[in-house]
Amino acid sequence: MLWSSEIFFVGDKFLYASHSSFVTMALRRNLVGCTSFCFPPVFLCWIAAMDYSIDIGSSSFSTKCKLSSRTVSSKSLHKTAQIRLLSRHPEVYEPCDDSFALVDALLADRANLLQHKPRLCMEVGCGSGYVITSLALMLGEENSGVHYFATDINPHAVDVTRATLEAHGVHAEIITTDIASGLHKRLAGMVDVVVVNPPYVPTPEEEVGCEGITASWAGGENGRKVIDRILPVVDELLSGKGWLYMVTLTANNPSQICRLMREKGYASRIIVQRSTEEESLHVIKFWHEDIAEMEGARAVASGPESWLSQFPLKSFWRGGTGSIG
């Protein structure tokens, strides 16, 4: 198996390669003065930020960061969107640790997704288009006939997502709307896969729903203001075999989110967990609680593309299990 890494230069700044998202956080704090790194070549993390500045007028940005990392292997590159092909805009959230964790969760569950044979997939809050593009690429020709939808309240994000999709040669219907307003009744019970990287950062209530990039992370009290609006809409959208993949922060009280979804008939499982000194991210998969579907959803793909699922995880659930049953 061949593994590759690259070091890019942007002006006089390096874009370094490293071994995991854990060192990404260290690099974020110590980029200036770092000259060399020596990490195992198996796990690579591409630092693809064009601007290392963290202070952009909101302290919340340190939690949903602009410094972008991506853990890749030579086997998975063709199944995810390429950073160099992403379109950008100063008012659009660029891929970061949370975006990459969500895509890594989809990669880890790819075998199940292919077997699932979704006909309609949707991303709520598409931002740069990195996630919906990656989902389309990883399903690819092996699951032809899939229709993709993407929504965002930020019109700049809609434009950026469209450009990102076009650069990768994939298509999706992109709509400027709040969550799925105008779509949720027309598509009720029809969506087989929903992916969401919501505004989850705890912020003052007045920041929620602001125009521009702030809307991508401002989650209000406990970071739940937007999440609690998204969940009932997703419940209405999902088909009987529908799956939801959602990013949460520990501050969001994800165990309570899972209990709320359990009351609606959903089982849940942590697919990917990332912990650093600053944050603990979890990508949780929800599916309708049915014995046959539960067994299929609990099986995680094996092979090189799902190596992330082999990381030892410290769950936020009591008893140390990563499942809610």
CB 192 within 8 A of CB 119: yes
Residue 133 has pLDDT above 60, yes or no: yes
275-300: pLDDT as tens digits? 877 779 999 999 998 744 445 544 44
Q: Is 195 exposed, middle or buried (0-12, 13-18, 19+ CB in 10 A)?
A: buried
Residue 301 has pLDDT above 70, yes or no: no
Full domain range(s) for residue 299: 96-324
Residue 147 has pLDDT above 80, yes or no: yes
Range picked from 42-46, 62-66, 69-73, 273-277 for highest mean pLDDT: 273-277
Give me the pLDDT at residue 118, please.
Answer: 97
Residue 17 placed within a domain: no
Residue 292 placed within a domain: yes
Residue 18 placed within a domain: no
Q: Band of the pLDDT at 39, cuts 50, 70, 90?
A: very low
Residue 192 placed within a domain: yes
The number of folded domains in the chain is: 1
Alpha carbon distance 14, 12 (integer Å): 7
Residue 237 placed within a domain: yes
Give me the pLDDT at residue 307, please.
Answer: 34
High-pLDDT (> 70) share of the chain, %: 65
Exposed e or buried b per residue across 240-275, where buried means at least 16 C-beta atoms within 10 angstroms of its C-beta? ebbbbbbbbbbbbbbbebbeebeeeebbbbbbbbbb
Ranking 43-47, 73-77, 283-287 by mean pLDDT, the lowest is 43-47
Residue 47 placed within a domain: no
Q: Output Rg (C-alpha) for the chain, integer angstroms.
A: 18
Question: How is residue 318 written in tokens?
Answer: 């009591």
Q: What is the CATH number of the domain that holds 150?
A: 3.40.50.150
Mean pLDDT confidence for 260-275: 96
Question: How is residue 3 written in tokens?
Answer: 């593994």
Residue 111 has pLDDT above 60, yes or no: yes
Strand intervals (E) in the chain: 8-10, 13-15, 17-18, 44-46, 71-72, 120-124, 147-152, 173-176, 191-196, 238-249, 266-275, 280-288, 323-324
Alpha carbon distance 271, 249 (integer Å): 14
Mean pLDDT confidence for 166-188: 95
Residue 84 has pLDDT above 70, yes or no: yes
CB 298 within 8 A of CB 324: no
Residue 277 placed within a domain: yes
Does residue 178 or residue 318 have the better pLDDT?
Answer: 178
Residue 73 has pLDDT above 70, yes or no: no
Q: Band of the pLDDT at 250, cuts 50, 70, 90?
A: very high
Alpha carbon distance 248, 253 (integer Å): 8
Give me the pLDDT at residue 78, please.
Answer: 55
Residue 259 placed within a domain: yes
